[in-house]
Amino acid sequence: MPPKWTTQNIPDMNSKVVIVTGANSGVGYEAAKELARKGAQTILACRSLDKARAALSQIQTEIPGAAAEVLPLDLTSLDSVRQFAAAFKAKYTRLDVLLNNAGIMMVPYGKTADGFERQFGTNHLGHFALTGLLLDLLLATPGARVVNVSSNAHKRGDLDFDNLMFEGGAGYDPTRAYGRSKLANLLFTYELQRRLTAAASSTLAVAAHPGVSRTNLTHYLTERSWLIKLGTAVFIRTLQSAAMGALPLLRAAVDPQVIGGQYYGPKGPGETRGYPVVVQSTRASHDEEAARRLWQVSAELTGVHYL
């Protein structure tokens, strides 16, 4: 049996530049910390500057001399995404890893600043735009990677192009919307890899999911009723740590054996916990026609066109 992949397998990251979105907490924080520990110039791309600065302080306390910094990024605003990309390019000339981790889960219906349904807009469209705006640096950096974070929830996801974002709340269900956004993450990853391959680029597009880990994404679950709050509190105690949940993301980002278009997740029962391995996603996530249509729609909605 091959050895378990852990943070000890992360190679030297000195001279590497990485971006981790949503790095102020949960698996994003753990991933950013371990990349910084290995010497990467690590950018914590976060909406809340207060939380991001607190996370940065924790990292630098644990890892004196860590090369890490905070740059503001609000994925619910295309203006913010563009400002982030411009600020990053003004300072850096390479990008080795773009870890698209930030996300929201099962929130009530609402819209982003650009009028997109919140979960689809944050989890998919914001990252689609960010990746496109940084793609020139990724292509110019040998062996660069884009890692998109999906979820087991993609298995319950569906795409309805006639009502992609539950306009006006029509048919909106928080769980269904979350699954749709996570399916979109995978469709985007696989289509991006096909386009990178066609362009003969060394840049890889890879996906990962953290299993079921203790993070703040369960916030809205605990607000629905006292019974759900009690049940969720008990359930959370059984979950694996955010540090374990970060391992599939880290392996996808740095393992030299990774192949573009792979999907990493925990090895344990139901992919809920365990050490990271290559896992399989649904047939729907490999629907090339749906992926091409989603790409076109995403480009039209965000105004970001690439490859």
pLDDT, averaged across the chain: 93
In the sheet with 145-149, reading across from the earlier edge strand, the strands are 68-72, 41-46, 17-21, 97-100, 145-149, 204-208, 263-266, 276-278
Amino acid at 181: S
Strand positions, DSSP E, 143-275: 145-149, 204-208, 263-266
- For residue 220, the model assigns a pLDDT of 43
Cβ partners under 8 Å of residue 74, min gap 6: 47, 80, 81, 113
- Under-50 pLDDT residues of the chain: 217-228, 230-235
Q: How does pLDDT run across 245-257, given as a tens digit for each residue?
A: 999 999 999 999 9
**Which one, of 125, 282, 270, lies nearest residue 211 by Cα?**
270
* Cα 155–Cα 159–Cα 162 angle in degrees, nearest 5: 160
Active site residues: 178
User: How far apart (Å, rounded) are the C-alpha atoms in residues 132 and 295?
Assistant: 11
Which pLDDT value is given to residue 205?
Answer: 99
Q: Check residue 3 and give its pLDDT.
A: 80
Handedness of CA 33, 37, 42, 43 (dihedral sign): positive
pLDDT at residue 130, as a whole number: 99
The CATH superfamily of 7-301 is NAD(P)-binding Rossmann-like Domain (3.40.50.720)
pLDDT tens per residue across span 140-159: 999 999 999 999 999 999 99
- Total H helices, total E strands in the chain: 10, 8
Domain boundaries, the chain: 7-301
Rounded Cα distance, 18 and 42, in Å: 5
Residues sharing a CB contact under 8 Å with residue 260, sequence separation 6 or more, in sequence order = 193, 196, 197, 204, 205, 206
- One-letter amino acid identity for 28? G
Cα separations in angstroms, 209 against 18, 148, 252: 18, 9, 10
**Predicted local confidence at residue 238, as pLDDT:** 58
